[in-house]
Structure 1
């Protein structure tokens, strides 16, 4: 199974509902819970503008195949570029009754889903601007321009701009196909919800780590804010790694003592707990107290129920 990712935000001073909106840490995580890309963005910018940046510029070894995001993370332009750049885009759709399907020929009637039809596609517009669409996708792929910059520019174009309209029409095709899959495929809906739940759980951990839930962003420069976001990701990743290693040790101990564990249940374990971690106080590392390589802290004694 290839890696997928979801995006979450960690806000400072309660940016979405507080009195002083600030910035967001926009983070991508993999299906293995590991954060692999983070970006500092303004709170007023729509999430969809930055979705592709994490997939294209993460500089990790992950091969992203499928991307999950919430409703705020997609637009028709994002749907189009996701398809052109080779990603399976799977946003969670809310208010499904308000999402319209688009058909190639407005003269054909679909009685069973007539209430869902939003209109006919402008295929001719896509054809006439196909070269411009491919050129835009190639520019993003080759790093000539970032995906977020191009999406912001396209979003600011007048509604009659040829490229913006053509890309939107292509996105309508992809969104329609995905909506039909969403309606029919129960497993797809479960997979998307499971992926987003991982993101929300990681978000809770990040909020707890960030000054023990009392965090405020006091760095004024973008560079320092970016360092703060990267540092938060590093600490969260360290906690996830620690939990993963010791969960494996605990399971191994159970098995060695004759405890039968259904392997199917192991897929529901999460390394995102932090109740056992002291998030406040002073941290002192002495060279004489370093844990030797391949040595682990002892587990609690095994007790049969």
Structure 2
């Protein structure tokens, strides 16, 4: 209890955990967060769909942050990496969770493209040497 650094790290982790719960509530907004199905199989399906959407959003955020890190100038890359490390991919304020979703070719023509091979091949240079 006397270790202030440990208490701060625990508090930060608890904040991230609460953010994860808020994220789950935001994704599952229908019926006030209640699953109105009597059948256990339908409840499990609704919960699995919610988890799938959460995982897709987390994956999107990770890909986007990695792409942002790759495109950052070398002089700013460490600052960007520190900001990413201090945050969490569990974020949804930039997403439209309520509304119309358009995945047509026309709507996606200017969307962000990820070079996944470049993400995997990226060599991070730190002051102590390259990290793999």
Give the TM interval when normalised to the shorter protein. Answer: 0.5 to 0.7
Higher relative contact order (CA 8 A, sep 6+): 2
Question: Which residue number in structure 1 is paired with residue 97 of structure 2?
Answer: 279
5+ residue gaps, structure 1, are 1-182, 298-305
Question: Which residue number in structure 1 is paired with residue 76 of structure 2?
Answer: 259
Whether contact under 8 Å (2:62, 2:89) holds in the other structure is yes
Question: Which residue number in structure 1 is paired with residue 118 of structure 2?
Answer: none
Question: Which residue number in structure 2 is paired with residue 219 of structure 1?
Answer: 37
**How far 1:223 sits from its partner (Å)?**
2.4
Alignment: residue pair count: 111
5+ residue gaps, structure 2, are 116-132
Question: Which residue number in structure 1 is paired with residue 55 of structure 2?
Answer: 237
| TM alignment of 1:1-305, pairs within 5 A | 183-211=1-29, 214-255=32-73, 258-259=75-76, 261-262=78-79, 263-283=81-101, 285=103, 295-296=113-114
Whether contact under 8 Å (2:63, 2:114) holds in the other structure is no
Question: Which residue number in structure 2 is paired with residue 167 of structure 1?
Answer: none
1:246-285 CA distance string (max 9 Å, x none) = 01111222225x5354344432122122222111234455
**How far 1:296 sits from its partner (Å)?**
2.7
Structure 2-normalised TM-score? 0.64
**How far 1:214 sits from its partner (Å)?**
4.0
Question: Which residue number in structure 2 is paired with residue 90 of structure 1?
Answer: none
Structure 1-normalised TM-score? 0.31
Whether contact under 8 Å (1:240, 1:271) holds in the other structure is yes
Q: 2-side partners of 1:278 and 1:265: how far apart?
A: 24
Whether contact under 8 Å (1:209, 1:232) holds in the other structure is yes
Q: 2-side partners of 1:265 and 1:212: how far apart?
A: 33
Rg (Cα) greater in structure? 1
Whether contact under 8 Å (1:212, 1:279) holds in the other structure is no
Higher strand fraction (1 or 2)? 1
